[in-house]
Amino acid sequence: LNVPSKYLGFLFLFFGLFLQSLYNYGARKVMVNPLGLIGCTPNAIALYGKNKTICVGDMNNAAQRFNEGLESLLDQLNTNLTDGKFITTGPSALASLYTGNLCFKFTIKGCCKVNNVGQCIPDKAPCKNRNTHLFWDSFHPTEAANLIGALIAYTDIVREFIFHIPK
């Protein structure tokens, strides 16, 4: 998956302007979630997975390029807006949920039966125990996965904003 550099530059230009606008309206502490391992979603694996791999490397590499650019953008904002603090949570902390983790029994199968675009079929019963699934459908993490992600993000926020401990 080749994401053109011009497109990434375009994204960061406008996202930087958006974050600058938040700052202009008074925001001083902002946390931005990076892209997750988009190549590890059930949809990505079903469409692009090869040789029974757990994740689609090209998609994760594109997300990594985006996240590296995001880190650079936030560093630039922190340099230019010295009374502001812009941070990102680390996607690597969530990576263990996708690959061989002990938290979820089902990591590449969603909790509901999906249609041809990977979303839950309306009026069909979902799985009985939603806490055993990483994904709700072919794209979206379950509440259990989001709770773990929120705890990881909260830890990052406390470390950066309150105790000022760099990553």
Q: Count other C-beta atoms under 10 Å from residue 112's C-beta.
A: 19
Q: Which band of pLDDT confidence, cut at 50, 70 and 90, is reported for residue 92?
A: low
Could you tell me the domains of the chain? Answer: 5-162 (3.40.50.1110)
| 58-75 pLDDT, tens digit each | 898 888 899 999 999 999
What would the mean pLDDT of 48-59 be, rounded to a whole number?
83
pLDDT given at position 132 = 87
**Are the beta carbons of 28 and 2 closer than 8 angstroms?**
no
**Are the beta carbons of 96 and 55 closer than 8 angstroms?**
no
What would the mean pLDDT of 23-40 be, rounded to a whole number?
91
Q: Which band of pLDDT confidence, cut at 50, 70 and 90, is reported for residue 50?
A: confident
For residue 137 the two structure tokens come to 């459908």
In the block, residue with structure tokens 């680390």 = 90
0.95 cut: is pTM over it?
no
Ranking 10-19, 26-35, 151-160 by mean pLDDT, the lowest is: 151-160
| 96-155 pLDDT, tens digit each | 666 555 678 877 889 999 999 999 999 999 999 888 888 999 999 899 888 887 887 777
Rounded to whole angstroms, the Cα distance separating 157 from 69 reads: 20
According to DSSP, residue 30 is labeled E
pLDDT at 164 over 60: no
